[in-house]
Amino acid sequence: MDNVTASEVAGMAVGALLLAATVAAPRVDAFISASQRRSLRMCSRCGDLRVIPCSKCGGAGVVSGGGLLFGLPFLPNPSDERSATAARPPCPECRSKGRIPCPLCSGKLPSSSSPLP
């Protein structure tokens, strides 16, 4: 009785573990990649790209939705055929580049004094 119960519990535990592993896989993968970057002395945020996708516009370079325009005295020029495009203001965060300097690396050049293994 006890053996059956124990094996059942073990089976449930393994099932739960597999489920948890499946659910947590992306996070674990992200964690591992971050730790790998760290072990490689790469920036854990940008991987030494020095830039990261702009979180404000999602890398699109323009603010979607035009929410910033509401409340601003913005009058689209009716003669401008590209007023639709102009209605989407460039992202002020990344200046329509879609990328922003990595907050962990920006202005912090790799120190030449840090010895590499």
Binding mask 40-59 for Zn ion (x = CB under 5 A): ---x-xx-------x-xx--
Which of 24, 36, 104, 110 is the binder for Zn ion (CB under 5 A)?
104
Segment contacting Zn ion by CB under 5 A, of 6-14, 25-33, 36-44, 78-86: 36-44
Nearest to 50 by CA among 107, 96, 117: 107
Distance CA 49, CA 102 (A): 8
Partner residues linked to 62 by β-bridges: 90
DSSP strand E in 23-70: where?
51-53
- Nearer residue to Zn ion within complex by CB, 25 or 108: 108
**Contact between 62 and Zn ion per CB under 5 A:** no
Residue type, 48: D
Which residues are near Zn ion by CB under 5 A? 43, 45-46, 54, 56-57, 91, 93-94, 102, 104-105
